[in-house]
A = this chain, B = another copy of it.
Amino acid sequence: MRIVVDAMGSDAFPRPDVEGAVQAARLYGVEITLVGDEKVVRPALAACDPGSLPIAVMHAPEMLTMHDKGLSLALKAKRREPKTSMALGIDLVKKREAVAFVTAGNTGAAATTAYFRLGTLPGVERPALCPVFPTHTGTCLVLDVGANPDCKPEHLLQFAIMGHVYAEKVRGVRGPRIGLLSNGEEPGKGNLLIRETYPLLAASGLNFIGNVEGKELFAGAADVVVTDGFSGNILLKGAEAVGALILDIVREKIQAASPFVKIGGLLVRPTLRSLRRMLDPSEEGAAPLLGVDGLVFIGHGRSDALAMQNAVRVAKLAAEAGVLESVRAEIGGRLARAPAAALGS
């Protein structure tokens, strides 16, 4: 089982990317291909003392950065002769020489490259990025959070089916509860997209629990929450920002306070640190890009070696669980049973 890791992805590449991949090879018994500029990847690999671990290096003369977007990105992504680390890595998945591709690079660049090189699974019009949110009782998958700012109801139905499969196969949730992100719980609440999506989900045969708001999501009322990529992104970034704000202010207030409070701050520091970890995306490693014809995981630019190691672990889990085949089967089966209106036809 070979997993391709983009060595040029994270903000601090190649070190976290390479270190995490080496750790994953050591711990999880996977074969790794590091793809990137040989001149920087080989020394970073050597520094990790990989011994006889099954780690190959594939040279990529170019890399995609935060500056790649729009048409020029699309053209690079579609190029017949791949040159970027993302395109070369994803092509290994396409040729079935590897089971998954993992990157901590530019999300848009990775999604675009994956979309053009792998295509989508039959019945899926748009791939969706599906991160794990922490909740009071565990975790919740939210999709899409950014790949598709403008969605149609049938896209959200496809997201729901893909989220259902991923929750069952990888997160181990039986009959996952599917919620629809809205501005009110009652049916009929929401913008036009949500109001049109609601009946599709209600008729889908999935365990649809109706509209959910932030309160229910973070309380753990749903296992999967479906949303368009714009709203999902607003939710994700808002939640990250509030979490960081609160923990920063707690720290600042404690530092500026009386000696007694400062001592209290020292005593609760491990608690606050564990909370920061809980809110930290690196615990879950990376989010799957569901709906493309191959397993692709996209992590935060801030990913460290542990995050990359976790990303490889989750990618392995998804491959072993046959996520791709299950999404293919469920999308085919459930859409075939859905009313024609659900297909937007």
Contact = CB atoms under 8 A, between A and B. Distances in A.
Chain A: interface size category: 35 or more
A218 B234 contact: no
Number of this chain's copies in the assembly equals 2
Nearest to A238: B214
B136 A183 contact: no
A239 B239 contact: yes
A218 B241 contact: yes
Contacts of A70: 188
Contacts of A250: 250, 268, 271-272, 275
A231 B279 CA distance: 22
A135 B249 CA distance: 10
Contacts of A16: none
B267 A239 contact: no
A68 interface: no
A11 to B, nearest CB: 15
Interface of A: 69-70, 135-136, 146, 149-150, 181, 183, 186, 188, 190-192, 194, 213-215, 217-219, 227-231, 233-235, 237-250, 253-254, 257, 260-261, 263-272, 274-275, 278-279
6 contacts: A213-B237, A243-B246, A246-B247, A250-B268, A253-B271, A264-B271
